[in-house]
Amino acid sequence: MSGSEPPPGDLTPPVVPAEAYTEEYYRTANWGHETWAASEGAIISPIYPSALRMAGLRPTERVVDIGTGRGELLVAAVQAGADRAVGVEYSTAALDLARRTLVRHEVTERAEVIEADARSIPLDDGWADLVTLLDVAEHLSPAELAGSLDEAHRILRPGGRVFVHTMPNRLIYDVTYRVLRATVGRSWPKDPRNAWEHQMHVNEQSARSLRDALRGAGFQPDVRHGKFVYVDFFPSPRARALVRAMSRLPGLRRLALGDLWGTGLKPAA
């Protein structure tokens, strides 16, 4: 659905309207944008097939990618042997770019993009084997995330799984940045988030909050920190060096890592 249309059923309007997600956003800010923009979609960033390997995608499985953006994950899924890959989007700009990507890679016989709210997906119960949300959770309010995970649970077969990537790990802004600002960077901005984050990040996650969200939707959760040491936004070389050092210390490592990965298993019975 578009942000200007009434939501289906009794859904409340999206907290972040579809119109916020412009073509500029997908070309300059969204995960993997550099590769897509440089090649006009001809080359898929390796982060997408890598994510599918982490998710344990098996040949002949059906994949639903919620918040599919430019559609690269759908291409990667088909190329990895998925039987069907369906992207869910409500942004007109994303729908246009994703369809262009699918045509460019000649995968339209097994992949498609549908316009829908993540809380109301027009697919049958138990249709999918794998549902992915890559850099989507932080863009959904807590209620929207709960509704989207409920939908993921509904459209998954018993024994299916949902796979989530989210960034930033909330601790890196709320704890790491604040402590370093108070000790070595008193002139730093109070809030290090960029304009896109201020506009769109309505629900940044911690490992605990993501685990609770998955469990609340009926999944058996497994949430872990990624390997990305997130330092680019720190204003000084000294701070960046300190955070890199923290990443090597087991007790502080989670305060230096920028992303989270979560898998939720739908019980088989």
Assigned domain for 108 exists: yes
Summarize pLDDT for 48-104 with one digit per residue, the tens. 999 999 999 999 999 999 999 999 999 999 999 999 999 999 999 999 999 999 999
With H, G, I as helix, E, B as strand and everything else as coil, classify residue 16: coil
Assigned domain for 41 exists: yes
Give the model's pLDDT for residue 212: 98
Assigned domain for 234 exists: no
Give the model's pLDDT for residue 7: 43
Closest by CA to 259, choosing from 197, 222, 204, is: 204
CB 206 within 8 A of CB 171: yes
Assigned domain for 146 exists: yes
Assigned domain for 40 exists: yes
Give the model's pLDDT for residue 24: 97
Which one-letter amino acid corresponds to residue 128? Answer: A
Domain that holds residue 95: 18-169+202-229+259-265
Give the model's pLDDT for residue 2: 31
CB 239 within 8 A of CB 247: no
Assigned domain for 3 exists: no
Distance CA 153, CA 158 (A): 9
Residues paired with residue 263 on neighbouring β-strands, in sequence order? 163, 222
Query: Tokens in use for 14?
Result: 């999206």
Give the model's pLDDT for residue 8: 55
Residues paired with residue 117 on neighbouring β-strands, in sequence order? 120
Give the model's pLDDT for residue 9: 60
Report, as ranges of residue numbers, the positions in the chain whose pLDDT lies below 70.
1-9
Give the model's pLDDT for residue 99: 98
Assigned domain for 215 exists: yes
- Given strand 156-166, what is the order of strands in its sheet? 111-115, 84-89, 62-66, 128-134, 156-166, 260-265, 220-225
Assigned domain for 2 exists: no
Q: Is the pTM of this model over 0.85?
A: yes
6 by Cβ neighbours in 10 Å (0-12 / 13-18 / 19+) ranks as exposed
Instruction: Residue 153: give its domain's CATH number.
Output: 3.40.50.150
Domain count, the chain: 1
